[in-house]
Amino acid sequence: MTMDPAHDTISGEQADQRDVQKNNFADDNFAGSGGGSQPHQEPRRVNNDPRANTRQKGNQVRRDRRDVHGWVVLDKPIGMTSTQAVAVLKRLFNAKRAGHAGTLDPLASGGLPIALGEATKTVPFVMDGRKRYQFTVCWGEERDTDDIEGRVTATSDQRPTREAILALLPRFTGVIEQIPPRYSAIKVQGERAYDLARDGEIVELAARPVEIHHLTLVDQPDNDHAVFEAECGKGTYVRALARDMGRILGTFGHICALRRTLVGPFGENDMIPLDQLEALCDRAASGEGSLADALMPVETALDDIPALAVTRADAARLHRGQAVLLRGRDAPISSGTVYVTVAGRLLALAEVGNGEIIPKRVFNLTGLTASTGRNERN
């Protein structure tokens, strides 16, 4: 059960180069709620039915993909891979682009943030945020995958007491050295570690520093199991945590249940079960609702970044990839990364420094975006 970073389905830098090349429009294109990228174009009605706009090819009917921008935090069910989850949401929304912000193993449930459209440019900000997990360790067996799916490699009749567990927790809090599981997505000479392990090769991974902010014992339902909650930084493996605690306690251990409850700015209140998404899709197809209600705004991923509002004239320059001079008493004093808005609408990620706003990632939010109500966090 890994906490690997997501592999974005598109390159943000490539998307930005494309955006800068194709955007060249006047200030009045920011007027109104559309914010379209083509000058003097009448606003188009957005069809909420994702099953519309199909094309006939031979004997098969193919739906045209559409522009959908925002975040969906799927409450991923057990048994589904992260890649499968992205594919399902891409189909439900009929979206052109999608990616996830951190792999969640099939045996794990909980928050899997999925970025659609322009939200894929903000994936790194979510991946760099804290994660929170609730997990159950089964004592007495160590397995080669460090979870319940693996082959048993060591056993013990000993079981840890509550006092022994509590005394151990401080050793796994703060910045620690952790050896990732052999069955992980880490690359070894260009190959994934789990592919090498499955082929029977000996995989030796080096220890690396990870940060665990909190680790608590939640419950000890019986002698064979203990339930923990951990809040940790990027790159931490809960499976390795269970493995290492079991070794020190002299009893061995592996993960037998795992649920992710927090990823960056996204918590349990933001999660949507798959069956609810499918029901919403059915209602949208019959004209009784909109899939926009399931979307969270692109900028939700940028909660920890300062916002900077600009005029329409400056917005037009930034959207063309041109820097804007900061001037006047209202010019911000701070420097660093900001997200830029115009008339309350997300425009770009930029760097502020040396008296300039320099655009780094430009957003084109034409298409289906989050409903107005989703702009208010629960």
| SS3 of residue 316 by DSSP | helix
pLDDT score, position 15: 41
- Given a contact cutoff of 8 angstroms between Cβ atoms, the answer to whether 20 and 321 are in contact is yes
Q: What is the DSSP letter of 340?
A: E
Residue listed under structure tokens 């909109």: 290
Residues of the chain with pLDDT under 50: 1-48, 51-52, 54, 57-58, 60-61, 375-378
Q: What angle do CA 358, 361, 363 make, to 5 degrees?
A: 120
Give the chain's length: 378
d(CA 165, CA 245): 8
Residue with token string 């929304």: 93
Quote the CA–CA distance of 209 and 176 in Å, as a whole number: 5
Structure tokens at 52: 């519309």
Q: What angle do CA 252, 253, 255 make, to 5 degrees?
A: 170
The per-residue pLDDT for range 130-152, each reduced to its tens digit, is 999 999 999 999 998 899 988 99
pLDDT, position 348? 94
**Among 64, 13, 19, 14, which residue's Cα sits nearest to residue 366?**
19
Residues whose CB is less than 8 angstroms from the CB of residue 186 and which lie 6 or more positions away in sequence, other chains included: 4, 180, 192, 193, 205
Nearest to 142 by CA among 132, 129, 152: 152
Q: How far apart are CA 335 and CA 211, in angstroms?
A: 27
Strands 174-178 and 152-155, how do they pair?
A: unpaired
Q: Quote the pLDDT of residue 45.
A: 37
SS3 150: coil
In sign, the C-alpha dihedral spanning 131, 135, 141, 146 is negative
Full DSSP string of 188-229:
ETTEEHHHHHHTT-------EEEEEEEEEEEEEEETTEEEEE
Name the token pair of 142.
């160590």
Q: Is 157 a catalytic residue?
A: no
pTM passes above 0.85 = no
Q: Give the closest residue to 71 by CA, choosing from 112, 25, 29.
A: 112
- For residues 98 and 10, the answer to whether their CB atoms sit within 8 Å is no
pLDDT at 331: 63
Neighbouring C-beta atoms of residue 40, cutoff 10 Å: 9
Catalytic residue selected from 16, 105, 270, 314: 105
One-letter amino acid at 318 equals L
Q: Which residues contact 195 (CB under 8 A, 6 or more apart)?
A: none
Count of CB atoms situated within 10 Å of the CB of 77: 15
- What are the residues whose beta carbons fall under 8 Å from the beta carbon of 41, sequence distance 6 or more? none
Q: How far apart are CA 120 and CA 101, in angstroms?
A: 9
CA quadruple 249, 252, 258, 261: dihedral, nearest 10: 20
> What is residue 325's predicted lDDT score, i.e. its pLDDT?
87
Instruction: Give the pLDDT score at 281.
Output: 86
pLDDT of residue 334: 65
- Residues 53, 95: Cα–Cα separation, whole Å: 12
